[in-house]
Structure 1
Amino acid sequence: MKHLLKISCILAFMFTFAGYAQIHDEEAKLIQEAFGVDKKDMLMMYMALPDDEATVFWPIYDAYTGEKNKLGMERYQILKDYAANYESLSADQADDLTTRLLKNNMAIEKLQLKYYNKMKKAVNPLQASKFIQVEKYIESTMRVRLQNNIPFIGEAGQLKG
């Protein structure tokens, strides 16, 4: 029960607001807390794009962020469904949640590949690779922070048939 409360609090904190812009804002707050800077500021410092490349790169980044936020909303719903049901999760529910999560992960990977290809044409492969590297690092850090507060299946009892 303690873990369910923990996950509910984290999800409530992360996703109190509905809508894609708010999800992005909550992600930005978590990144600020974890790294001490805004995500876009971190990217600007790390990538150090010349003005001509920056002019082309940032609109592509903004489009990527818009599409990724939609996938973030899907992930939020999966986590919300898990939090609501993990104590009495049936095999069918576990299958549904796992399948949805894996498909969401694949959609994020596909989106990142799509935007990597756009970015490498717009700026160059090195800068596009730097973006993906930072994106993956931030993504991994956020997932670990969240995963540390999600209870394992069956932690509160046994799975139902």
Structure 2
Amino acid sequence: MKKISLILVLAIVSFSSYAQSTFKEDIDVLQSFYGKSKGDLVKEYMNLSDSQAAAFAKVYDSYEADRKGLGQTKFQLINDYAANYATLTDEKADELAKATLRNHIGYEKLYSKTYTQAKKVIGAINAAKFIQLEVYLQTIIRAEILETIPFIGELDKSKVKI
């Protein structure tokens, strides 16, 4: 029984420590895939003229500020899930699920707002290119995070009954 408890505690601690480094790892994930910073990826992919790049920089900076806020919320939700994983109740699961869905909707609204702003300064094709790239990058980050987070009840299933 002590072994099972120790395994569960170690799993939760490692899961929690992952959540604490989420922002750094977001950057690391992108750099490990592409060998470049996110800003460099965006600049290279967008391939804008100097005047377009200057106009787009304001939109991009605003987007990044809002995205970081959503990322902080995502980080807090992961920590909350980790802290409550072993004792998750219906009420807490409901709270976390709803908050996660609101966070996902927040990203979608941000994409829409940013597309509208970007379209005004760099045109629809370039604005669509940016949104396409950003959704792709966020999908990679989300997949990496999801691979490290245990499903609800997953660790309980791995317990050995003695």
- Shorter chain as normaliser: what TM range? 0.7 to 0.9
Q: Which 4+ stretches in 1 moved above 3 angstroms? A: none
In terms of fraction of residues, the more helix-rich structure is 2
Residue among 19, 26, 32 paired with 1:11: 19
Distance in 2 between the 1:51 and 1:104 partners? 34
Could you tell me which residue of structure 2 aligns to residue 17 of structure 1? Answer: none
Distance in 2 between the 1:87 and 1:60 partners? 42
Matches within 5 A, 1:2-151: 3-14=11-22, 23=23, 27-151=26-150
Q: TM-score, normalised by structure 1?
A: 0.86
Q: TM-score, normalised by structure 2?
A: 0.85
Query: What SS does the corresponding residue of 2:135 show, helix, strand or coil?
Result: helix
- How many pairs align? 149
Distance in 2 between the 1:67 and 1:8 partners? 24
One-letter amino acid matched to 1:96: E
Q: Whose radius of gyration is greater, 1 or 2? A: 2
Segments of 5+ residues of structure 2 without an aligned counterpart are 1-7, 158-162
CA RMSD of aligned residues (A): 1.6
8 Å CA contact 1:6–1:149 kept in 2: the answer is no
Percent identical pairs in the alignment equals 34
